[in-house]
Structure 1
Amino acid sequence: MSIQAYQNYSVETASPGELTLMLYNGCIKFIKIARKAIEDQEIEKKNTNIQKAQKIIQELMVTMNQDYAISQEILPLYDYMNRRLIEANTKNDVIILDEVHGMVEEFRDTWKQVIIATRKAHYGQGRNA
């Protein structure tokens, strides 16, 4: 199985929670690439990767379940991160990228804990885990 086939299989078989985790990880990856591109003065590469990070943030905004009160607290943070990415792109500012990177990592790490807790609650019931 090729790497591409494996990646496609991973996405196709992932739970919604795992897909969200993949989105966070992808966003972090693109921010890191963009940061290095700014340092290396590779403006096109910087622009492409910041736009990829923005698309992920926008996808997270669009697919967020609005049935939970916490959504109303998270959406403005996603919007803020998206605006900061635009600013980092126009100003070639690694400090702004570092700020957004940190925020996305916090979301990812929190999301990981949610997945772990959900699995424990779902699979751990009635077992000596």
Structure 2
Amino acid sequence: MSLYVVVFLTLFSSPVSSLNGTAYIMLAGRPIVEISEDQVLHFYITDAFNSPITVINSTRDVEYLTEYYPFGEEAYPVMVEEKEQTKKFKGVTYDGDSKLYEGSAYDSNIGRYFTPKINRLLSPTYNLQKLNVYTY
């Protein structure tokens, strides 16, 4: 890894640990680097919605490439490596078994939640739009 990248990540990012021994380096609340259990770096290239459209490893090989329809359904996912990509639309975790995003009942086919996000009401906020529990 380049010295410039190391200095940049040290100055402007903060590591956040995740489940299964995988750590993420975040920049402005967005995952930009994933450090897997075997210490391999995976760099995320995201779109304007923080959806990972390309994942590149430390040897500059493309591991994952996709585009998204407006409400989050994948247009044409291409997995080059065996590793499944769990960060999907808007950078949240996708469960392939239940077809849910971030553990909530968001369906990308219709672009709506089935259940409200109650935790939005519990945290103090000055953004009145966050009082609507069905907003994305």
TM-score (norm: length of structure 1):
0.24
TM-score (norm: length of structure 2):
0.24
Structure (1/2) with the larger helix percentage? 1
Structure (1/2) with the larger strand percentage? 2
Which structure has more relative contact order (CA 8 Å, sep 6+)? It is 1
